[in-house]
Amino acid sequence: MKCKVSKQCGGCTYLNMPEKQQAQIKQEQVEQLAAQYHIKARIGDVHMAAHPLHYRNKVIVGFAKQKGTIVSGLYAKHSHRVVPYDQCVLQPEIVNEIIAAITKMVQSMKIELYNEKTGTGVLRHVMIRWAHATGEIMVVFVTGSSMFPSRKNMVRALTKQFPQIKTILQEVNGRNTSVVMEREPMVLYGNGTITDLLCGLKLRYSATAFYQIHSEQCEALYDMARKMADLHPRDTLLDTYCGIGSIGLTLASSCGHVVGVEQNARALKDAAYNAQSNGIENIEFVPMDATAFMKEAAKYQQHFNVIVLDPPRAGTTRDFIQAAVSLKPRRIVYISCNLETLMRDLKRFKKSGYETRKIELYDLFPYSEHVEGICVLEKKYYNQAASRKKAEARKSFEAKKIKERKQRRRSK
Ligand SMILES: C[S@@+](CC[C@H](N)C(=O)[O-])C[C@H]1O[C@@H](n2cnc3c(N)ncnc32)[C@H](O)[C@@H]1O
């Protein structure tokens, strides 16, 4: 595959490598990490993507003036140098088209670019999110101050040219930081959210809410989460670092009750909306730091049969692990996009009595060096056969009860 700037931009380190070889390298790296942290679990083959190109559903570009012309592109690795490009094979075609159109409009509307050194100017970045199944698109302009001349013209021109754009927002970020979005942006057009279809659910999300980057692969990952959680109808599931609630909402039909915990209030608002719009009633959400919640839960010995955690790249905390273990869940399912912190945490879980049984890898980031891991942990020496027998006995007992109730109703 050809890309003139792949070496400078660093977004697709493995661009010229066959997919099987990419998978092999990723798997070997995870195996090495596991050995380094003394994690002896079985590591499955990397689940490769059926569609490894044009998958990135979120893209952030910067702008620069080069030889008098406005250009846009990703930043070179570890720098704020914009590497301009026309087409990126990892981005959906429509996203490439919108970025090109915005870049032209910035030039023709004479929108000043933000200068990081002086803190003057207007436009810093543009973020585009694309809902894979519905085609809905969100555009966020990140500006140095609330002043955004030509804002109305930009919104009008963009929505006229691209009816797929359902919402446009402006985030004001005048701080000296590499974090693109810290606060909740203001809505310029639409309702500030877009909606996708995932695992048979309609999921709405806002600009700052997390959403997995490769939607098709995300469905496969959640399917594995369901298998690994192995929920029983009366179980209570704790979904920590839950974002817009996607994992808990997907698994809610397999258990009795779900509690989701998340610190981004805006994402939780989406989670509550998603529960309601999908008619899911056995789920509640708690706006809290995950560790603080776990400590409270441990203090009051709240009971959760299965705990899911899907923390950001930094992984979770020692306190989270200690509290989670003290609740004695039957299973813990850990999802992570950073295998280094995952292994570190698995080692800590192991020391606290929970062993990793199995690790599965999903290529959510084809042509990059990243891979997503999902694993299941159980109490050391936990007798799986005995537990399965117990679960089967309980299921048949429940089925017998339902049958008896039906018979009683019929005979009345
Ligand atoms: C990798 S995302 C996973 C989101 C969700 N599970 C999903 O699959 O879409 C991590 C989430 O953890 C949230 N988060 C980060 N730090 C947190 C903390 N200390 N307590 C609770 N949530 C946190 C982020 O806002 C983000 O939504």
245 C-alpha to ligand 1 centroid (Å):
10
Q: 337, 76, 49: which is closest to 219 by C-alpha?
A: 49
Last residue of a domain, one of 173, 198, 223: 198
Is residue 396 included in any domain, yes or no? no
Is residue 265 included in any domain, yes or no? yes
If asked whether residues 227 and 347 sit together in one domain, one would say yes
In this structure, are residues 301 and 275 in contact, taking their beta carbons and an 8 Å threshold? no
What's the confidence (pLDDT) of residue 20?
A: 94
Measure the CA–CA gap between 5 and 87, rounded to whole angstroms: 10
What is the pLDDT confidence band of residue 27, given thresholds at 50, 70 and 90?
Answer: very high
If asked whether residues 178 and 102 sit together in one domain, one would say yes
ipTM of the complex: 0.99
Does 29 carry a binding-site annotation?
no
Which residue owns the Cα nearest ligand 1 atom 12?
241
If asked whether residues 62 and 31 sit together in one domain, one would say no
At 116-155, the pLDDT tens digits run 889 899 999 999 999 999 999 999 999 999 999 999 999 9
Which residue owns the Cα nearest ligand 1 atom 15?
312
50's CB contacts (< 8 A; 6+ apart) are 216
If asked whether residues 142 and 252 sit together in one domain, one would say no
Pocket lining for ligand 1, CB < 6 angstroms: 210-212, 241-243, 246-247, 262-264, 267, 289-290, 310-312
Residue 180 has pLDDT above 70, yes or no: no
Name the domain count of the chain.
2
Q: Print the domain residue range for 173.
A: 58-198
Last residue of a domain, one of 171, 198, 225: 198
In this structure, are residues 374 and 224 in contact, taking their beta carbons and an 8 Å threshold? yes
The tokens of 162 are what? 């691209």
This prediction has a pTM of 0.90
Q: Give the number of other Cβ atoms within 10 Å of residue 397's Cβ.
A: 10
At 232-274, the pLDDT tens digits run 999 999 999 999 999 999 999 999 999 999 999 999 999 999 9
Phi and psi at 142, nearest 5°, equal -105, 120
Does 262 carry a binding-site annotation?
yes
If asked whether residues 91 and 193 sit together in one domain, one would say yes
At 56-97, the pLDDT tens digits run 999 999 999 999 999 999 888 778 889 988 889 999 999 999
Is residue 376 included in any domain, yes or no? yes
What is the pLDDT confidence band of residue 400, given thresholds at 50, 70 and 90?
Answer: confident
CATH code for the domain in which residue 134 is found: 2.40.50.1070
Residue located via tokens 């994992």: 247
Which of 181, 241, 293 has most ligand 1 atoms within 8 Å of its beta carbon, as the pocket-test mutant? 241
Phi and psi at 157, nearest 5°, equal -65, -40
Q: Give the number of other Cβ atoms within 10 Å of residue 374's Cβ.
A: 24
Is residue 86 included in any domain, yes or no? yes
